[in-house]
Structure 1
């Protein structure tokens, strides 16, 4: 490396403003961004933030608590702290920052499990084969591991626990906002398809006391739902229904799917939506409500365009434009009725039977 790579103007001020850097330096920063993400993922994996809740600690103390090498740990912490994730004090101790707080296990909407999930070797191995995906269109994860991601998690419960924890944290953080963007009170029964532990469904039911819910997911996922439903006081209004949405779904007046369809190909989505359409039958008032990203056209930056790379490499699904969502609904017997922008990258997409 050369002195071309300039530091942020203020230590710990955050990632440099790429727009003001020369093109060559900007590309260097982008190419080497994995050095930073790997560092943060490792600090999340070993739980550093949890060990700083009670105040600053020396590297030696953190290393003892995390069973790590003090020198190696210091170098990783120093890199993260230079961008505001943790902070190094003049006395050599490290402390939490607002960004580092996001990596605490006990923070609402914690990103610790997400960082652990993204940084796990099984996913990084897929990215090492990404060039083959670009050449062939075949999913790298399946090529590297010999199976789809969700089958891999089923075979490795400890990884499934991390993944489910990451997805639960996202649902928990977004549930109140998203549940307030739909007119759910008009439905008698709402089925949350692939609803995980029920954070989204709980938020909807809390806001609409006359509505009942169905939480539909794989049996091993539903096993963790009771504490969430009980904490939200909706356990008596929710039917837990294990199943496979590729085979069938329960009967309901409305179907909610949060960040589900982006995991799957168009043909697989048509199967899922087709099962819902079959269950709806001639109920013209039934609705499908998606909480998904919608990719903007041309060169506009949107996080959904980066999420789409993860779908391409590790899951085989895709993020979709509004036109692609319309086409997908049409193939499945629905018509896209309304779209509502939520906190990026989320949108609320409501479809009706046609």
Structure 2
């Protein structure tokens, strides 16, 4: 009698066919894109904001969001299955503690980050991830007509650029004061925030250390909206705004150069170039510092957010997350030695580098 293909499948490493717990876990991991895709849509529609005042029926939510009610129900049901929103017995949906982070105005909101993660070129980069593994090259440029991530956002995707900037601002509002408290920035009279956007981290540092002054350095479109933020924080009179590209050069006469979540966007050679520009600006001052606030990948098999972010960096813009050794190597190539890596708000560390004497 012929044997079917199913009969020929061997038992897996001695496990019984009835032991499917780990298989289910892997299936849920593979379905992660379905979960993320569902949440990005609901974040874009602003459903959590609509539920902030209490439960609402799906037809009501559909009318408010311009959605197809039966399909919106399916998205909400899927989100509720992972604890984001909950369906009541009467068919209305309500917020859960997890869903509250998709509201626009809560501390630590993730609404705009979720919205941004659904941006088509960000999302579609993962469809070509096998190409990145084969070649080491990101897919973002071919999806963005040859432009890097930031060029594309500013020139071609204003809606998602707005979501991205809001996401970064919200995260900085929540994390910046804690970062400012985790390190003695006050020993530096003049601090430059390189690639600092609206200056939320710099403002938090200056509020914590009233004797220091700051320089906010970024491209013109990034710092254009900084003045009201600095005014609201009461530090505008202590901040100099300077527009430019850190690939070309950075301001001189500064005691500490802070780069928060900047270096991970770029490949090693570009990062070394930026650090060399900083080393040139420092000159002979042995007490100046470069302070890289970024992910520090742990070794071993333990889970860590930055290990997954590293894949996102690889497929989108060619950047990467780095281990302590890799950060030290970058600094050494640019003329710095690593003093220490200080703990701060997860998933970041503060990599402190001091200039080596010129040869």
Q: d(CA) in 2 for partners of 1:211 and 1:83? A: 46
| Residues 178, 291 of structure 1: 8 Å contact kept | no
Partner of 1:237: 238
Residue in 1 aligned with 2:293?
A: 291
Distance in 2 separating the partners of 1:29 and 1:87: 20
- Asked if 1 retains the 8 angstrom alpha-carbon contact of 2:290 and 2:352, the reply is yes
Structure whose alpha-carbon radius of gyration is higher: 2
Q: What is residue 226 of structure 1 aligned with on the other side?
A: 227
Task: Provide closer, same or farther for how the CA distance between residues 185 and 32 of structure 1 changes in structure 2, counting only shifts above 3 A.
Answer: same
For 1:76, the equivalent position in structure 2 comes to: 75
2:155 is the counterpart of 1:155: yes
After TM superposition, give the deviation of residue 339 of structure 1 in Å.
1.1
Which residue of structure 1 aligns with residue 184 of structure 2?
Answer: 183
1:152: Cα distance to partner? Answer: 0.8
Partner secondary structure for residue 290 of structure 1: strand
1:164-191 deviation per Cα after TM superposition (whole angstroms, max 9, x unaligned):
1112222222101111111111111100
Residue 307 of structure 2 aligns with which residue? 305
Kept in 2, the 8 Å contact 1:293–1:345? The answer is: yes
- Give the conservation status (yes or no) of the 8 Å contact 1:133–1:139: yes
Q: 1:21 to 1:329 in 2, by over 3 A?
A: farther
1:12 corresponding residue in structure 2 = none
The residue that corresponds to 2:14 in the other structure is none
Residue 55 of structure 1 aligns to a residue whose secondary structure is coil
Deviations 1:310-345 (A, max 9, x none): 100012110000000010000011111011222321
Matched residues, number? 335
State the match for 1:25 in structure 2. Answer: 24
Cα displacement (A) at 1:21: 6.6
TM-score (norm 1): 0.92
Distance 1:270 1:44 in 2: 37
Secondary structure of the corresponding residue to residue 197 of structure 1: coil
- Equivalent residues of 2:260, 2:294 under 8 A apart: yes
Distance 1:184 1:133 in 2: 39
- TM-score between the two structures when normalised by the length of structure 2: 0.91
The answer for the alignment partner of 1:64 in structure 2 is 63
C-alpha RMSD of matched pairs (Å):
1.3
Change beyond 3 A, Cα 1:21–1:235: farther
Aligned to 1:138: 137
1:178–1:348 Cα contact (<8 Å) kept: no
Pairs within 5 Å for 1:97-108: 97-108=96-107
Quick check: 1:175–1:199 contact (8 Å CA) kept in 2? yes
Distance in 2 of aligned mates of 1:173 and 1:21: 41
Residue 42 of structure 1 is matched in structure 2 by 41
